[in-house]
Every structure is written in C-alpha cells, then in structure tokens.
Structure 1
Amino acid sequence: MKRTTIESILKQNQVMVIDGSMATGLEHLGCDLNDTLWTAKVLADRPDLVKQVHIQYFQAGADCGITDSYQASLPRLIERGYSQQEAEALIRSAVTIFREAREEWWQQEGKAAGRAYPVCLGAVGPYGAYLADGSEYRGHYGVSDEVLRDFHARRMELLWQAGADVLMIETQPSLQEALIEAELAEQLGADYAISFSCADGKHINEGDLIADCAAELSSGHPHLRMIGVNCTHPKYIESLIKELKTSTSLPISVYPNSGEQYDPLTKKWYGAKQALRFKDYALIWMKAGAKAVGGCCQTDEDHIRQVAAAREEFCSKAPTDRI
C-alpha cells in the first residue's frame, strides 16, 4: 500500500497545515456530542457528516486530516453494545471515510489547484479519553503498562491496516503511555507522530518536562516522524516549541485548542477565546520553528483558513531551504 508521507508535504509546502476539530465541525452540522462515544457516535450513525467535515477542512487549506477514531476505542464500543467484530469495523471505517473524502476532494478540486495530496493521520486517543472524565488533561491513570498496551495495540493495528498514512498518537498527558504506544507502532512498522497535552510552557500534564520527553522519544524510535503538542492553551505553544527544539531535530507539530477550558462533567468548553487572531498565533508558532500547525478543540474551518494564510505569509518571507 502506497502511503502519503509528512516529508512529502513539508518538501512541497515547508509547513504542513493540520485540520481543526472534528467535534466542532460536527457540532456546526447540528450533531449532539454529549455522549461517552463523543464523535464516534456520529462515525457510527452519520458517517456522511464525518466525511463532510474532512472535505470542509481540505477546502479550508488543510494538508492532512485526523481520522474520527480518537474516542473509538474497542473497550468503550464493546461496553456500548458493539460486538468485537462490529467495533473493529467501525474503527477501520474512520480511515475509509477519510480516504474517500480525500479522493473526492482531490479529484474535484485539489489536484487542479496544485495542492498536496493530504496525509491521513490515524487518531490514537489516550487511555484518558476512554475514561471520559477529563483524564487526558491529568494523566496518572493508576493502571499498569499491560493495561495500556492492551488498550492501544489492536486499535493501532486496525488503523494502520486500514490505510492510515501515519498513526497520530495525540493528546498524551503521560510519557509512560506515549512510550508504550511508540513501542507498539515500531512493532507494526508504522510511521507515527506523538503529540502531548501540556500544563504550561514546559511540562506535559503529568509533570514531565516536554524537552525530556522529546529527548527520550527521539532516540531509538526510527518510525517517529513528528513530535509536538495539541489540545493545550495557545499561550503556552511558543514556549513549548522552543523547549522541543532543544531536544529534537524532528518536525514539530502544534495544534492547540482555542484557549477555552474543558469541563468533564458537562462535556462543554467555557471561558474567553484568545485576544490574538489564530493567524497571528500561527505565524508566531511557525517563526518559532513549528513545521505543522492546526487546531484542536473549539477550532473550526475559519481557524484553519487563518493557519493557511499564515503559512502563505510565512513562506513568502522564508528561504526555501528552511525545512
């Protein structure tokens, strides 16, 4: 199976534009996500809407997309009444839907416009997402390595076999968990990226320095293609990029949330959005050294259009040998 690579996007565009929030995109289409399956509920019930969100992000300028599999874990699906076979089929479908959306957009618009063929990032959410209590922003699950390994292994295998170009191991509060997932990806021979959720400008949510996490992961993990930060307050991102640059030569990805805070009880985001436009933030992050920029929770097509505009401005002033 021929897979699109992050490297090919960076070679063509210098900076890769990541898509925005699947959840926010679905909410804009009228979906109610107050459910333990979150966006996976729509994956099961209205896959056409998931496809529509992917296409909308390509149209906004995204060079890649993250599959709707963050919350589609086997234990959660089985708890909700799916058989093992049905749950596995649903996880595979997240990749299939992305690939269909990509090809449809490519044939109708992308190819003629000279755009890059988008990378399929297979979303691998943390164990905390399965707990559905906000643990992805805390970590410290109190479970064994074996529990984490069993939780992640089959889903990662399914996403890779279904045709994801890169496994996107995202919103990771824990270095321990990230290392287990990295080991599983290496065993699969799968290209992968790791993205941490962070508490401030230096630390991931469990408390480790992100520079230390990057140093540990950058050695002995030949299939790791990108490392970075997501679902973190925008005000911390510039500092986190600089910390990462001290410990790794891998491309750095950032796709923060809008700056609001998450309430795990109501499953709602609240608080004020940031004063700076997302374009202004994106330009700051690119100048700091980010090679992939997008948005996470509470970001939408407009945020991604702003990132694409920031990339155009950044690249118009940057020498082509900066990648």
Structure 2
Amino acid sequence: MGEEKEVTIVDGALATELEAAGLNLQGDQLWSARALQTNPQAIKNVHASNTVPRLCDRGKPLIAGSIGPYGAFLNDASEYSGNYVENMTKEELKAWHRPQLQSLITAGVDLIAMETVPSQKEGEALVELLREFPNSKAWLSFSVKDEQCISHGEKFNDAVKFAITSDQLVAVGLNCCPPDLVSPLLSTANKNRRPKGGWIVYPNSGETWNPNTRWENKPIDNQLARFAVEWKELGAKWIGGCCRTTPADIAELRDTLKANLSQQ
C-alpha cells in the first residue's frame, strides 16, 4: 500500500497476478494460499515486480495481514452468504480467528486486514477480538450483495455502527463487490456517522463470476479510476482493488487521485 496525501492506495488482486504468472489455482481448496506452501517465491516475485515499484514512490509500503471470513474454511461457498453465523456464537468466531490474528501480529505486519466479512456478527466478533491486542491496528471491510445490504442481509449502515467508533480501526468499509455498489452504500451510511479513519473501499474489477465460464463481461474502462474521485468525496480514505484488478488498474487509480489532488 502506498499513500497519496489524503488517500492511501491499496494494492490489487494477488491471485490474478499469480494466474498470470502461470500458476493454476482453480479448484484448489486453498486457492492462492496454496502458493505460500508450494511456491513462496512466486508470491515474492509478484510483490517485487508489481506492488512495491508501483506503490512505493517514497518510503516502504505498509504490509497488511489478511484475515478473511470463517466460511472460506468450510469450502462450501458459505463465505458468500455468511449463513454459518446463525449457528455460531461470537465467542466461537473469536476462538477461530484468534490464532491467525496472533500469528500475523507476531510476524510483524503493520496492520490487519479484516476483510470480505459477510455478516454483522462476525464483524463485531473481529473488532472485539482486536481489543485483546491493544497495540495493533486494523481495518474492517464487509462483503455486500446490493446497494443496501451486506452479504448476510444486514443493512450496511447498521453493520458498521459497531465499528466506526473503534480507536483501533484505521478504516471501515467494503470490498469484493461490483464497483457501482460502493457509492450508494457510502452515501446512505454517511447520513449517520463516518468512521474516524474514513471509509475503505476496494471492489472487484467490474467483471461478473460465472461458475461455468469463470470471469466474464470485462468492463471497457478501469472501474476503479472511473469512480475513485467520487469515492474520495464520499469519505473514502483508503481505495484499491479486489478480484481481477491488476497492477495497471492500481497505477491508473493512483494517477487519477493524484491528478485530482493537484487540481485542488
């Protein structure tokens, strides 16, 4: 991640770049995490050739350790619905996430990316768990299904209320969604209260997922750059990309925001 004055730029999709480098990730239960075990050099190569040169114009980039939803472990696509939380307590969710959070903090990451969280209950559990590590910072980012609701069905506006007053969260927001959902969600949430550190948004490229043909309907333009200034004006202080976004998309996003700042 690199900082452009008022906005921190978040990098794009790791798995997309690993596939571009020739790794076959489809059908693997661990997906891109498999490379951590079988080909760690590929992970290093992607960051060395793309992330650092594009984001680190000055100083070193921040390193965020990712904590995704419990449902991804179940390997039944429930991370997209969050329906597992209906049979779990917050304490059970915290117990599951605690070892990973501890490991990432011990490894020395700069902050924790609590991301693609489908439900309000899991989001609250993660924020509560973070309090056990009072010297650590994080962001909390929900996955969403439409212009009002996160994936499990709670209103985004309600789901963020618990988190926006946390002193440990550098940002609260959403990721892994179509870009055109971002502005309506932020606009509604802004009617109440913005998070202390601002919103974080890093949607997908705008392509749609088809289980039979994989990704399709690629936009003709860079959706991140197209909406970036609008998101910034709505209070987004951290902006980047999720699935199918490329280093070129992130570079154009950065240039768009830099040009906007120079005009002010």
- What TM-score comes out, normalization by structure 2 length? 0.89
Unaligned runs of 5+ in 1: 1-5, 62-109, 319-323
* Structure 1 stretch displaced more, 191-200 or 271-280: 271-280
Q: Report the structure, 1 or 2, having the larger helix content.
A: 1
User: What's the offset of the Cα at 1:229?
Assistant: 0.7
Q: 1:242, 1:289 within 8 Å by CA — same for their partners in 2?
A: no
- Note the aligned Cα RMSD (angstroms): 2.0
CA distance in 2, matches of 1:212, 1:290: 18
Give per-residue Cα distances to partners, 1:235-278, cap 9 Å, x unaligned.
10111222333332331111001122335x66x74231234423
1:253 is aligned to 2:200: yes
Structure 1 stretches (4+) deviating beyond 4 angstroms? none
1:274 aligned residue: 219
Q: 2:247 aligns with which of 296, 301, 310?
A: 301
The aligned amino acid for 1:223 is Q
CA distance in 2, matches of 1:287, 1:277: 19
Number of residue pairs aligned between Structure 1 and Structure 2: 256
Matches for 1:157-196 after TM superposition, within 5 Å = 157-189=102-134, 190-196=136-142
1:202 is aligned to 2:148: yes
CA distance in 1, matches of 2:12, 2:110: 18
Distance 1:180 1:135, change over 3 A: same
1:144 is aligned to 2:84: no
- What TM-score comes out, normalization by structure 1 length? 0.74
Q: 1:214 aligns with which of 138, 160, 165?
A: 160
CA distance in 2, matches of 1:173, 1:317: 37
User: What's the offset of the Cα at 1:129?
Assistant: 1.4
1:64 aligned residue: none
SS state at 1:188 partner: coil
CA distance in 2, matches of 1:38, 1:226: 27
Q: 1:121, 1:168 within 8 Å by CA — same for their partners in 2?
A: yes
1:223 aligned residue: 168
* Percent identity of equivalent pairs: 31
CA distance in 2, matches of 1:134, 1:46: 25
The aligned amino acid for 2:36 is L
SS state at 2:163 partner: helix
1:23 aligned residue: 15
Q: Report the structure, 1 or 2, having the larger strand content.
A: 2
Q: 2:142, 2:175 within 8 Å by CA — same for their partners in 1?
A: yes
CA distance in 2, matches of 1:262, 1:181: 28
SS state at 1:167 partner: strand
1:42 is aligned to 2:38: no
Unaligned runs of 5+ in 2: none
The aligned amino acid for 1:144 is M
CA distance in 2, matches of 1:202, 1:53: 35
The aligned amino acid for 1:262 is W
CA distance in 2, matches of 1:158, 1:134: 25
